[in-house]
Amino acid sequence: MAVVTITNDNFEEEVLACKIPVILDFWADWCGPCKMQAPVFDALAEELDGKVKFGKVNVDEQSALSLKYQVMNIPTLIVMDHGEFKERAVGVQNKEALKALLNM
């Protein structure tokens, strides 16, 4: 499963209704640390394919979602499980930190 682009339009279907945990990467094109986070996020998405859904939320294009989840700094990583907020991490995270966030 590839990393999914999450928008306000598909949020309910892709995140809230998902039967497996979802980790969201709130990011922006102009953000240097976000560019550093991307390869780690993508590699873990391949490693945990089918166990966790990985989604990216562009804060410039999806400001309503950023506001709803109180994203003040990027990158911010948020874990949702069966539609419920579980965990948050702010700043660049390595693979081990992301696994810990996911309790894996």
Task: State pLDDT tens for residues 2-53.
Answer: 899 999 999 999 999 999 999 999 999 999 999 999 999 999 999 999 999 9
Distances in Å between the Cα of 23 and the Cα atoms of 37, 78 are 13, 6
Rounded distance between C-alpha atoms, residue 42 and residue 63, angstroms: 23
Domain 4-101, CATH: 3.40.30.10
The answer to whether 45 touches 2, Cβ cutoff 8 Å, is yes
Q: Given the residues 6, 15, 23, 34, select the one marked as catalytic.
A: 34
Residue 3: CA count within 13 A, CB half-sphere:
19
pTM for the whole structure: 0.94
Q: Given the residues 3, 7, 28, 31, select the one marked as catalytic.
A: 31
Quick one: pLDDT at residue 1?
Answer: 61
Rounded distance between C-alpha atoms, residue 33 and residue 35, angstroms: 5
Residue 18 among the catalytic residues = no
The answer to whether 79 touches 102, Cβ cutoff 8 Å, is yes
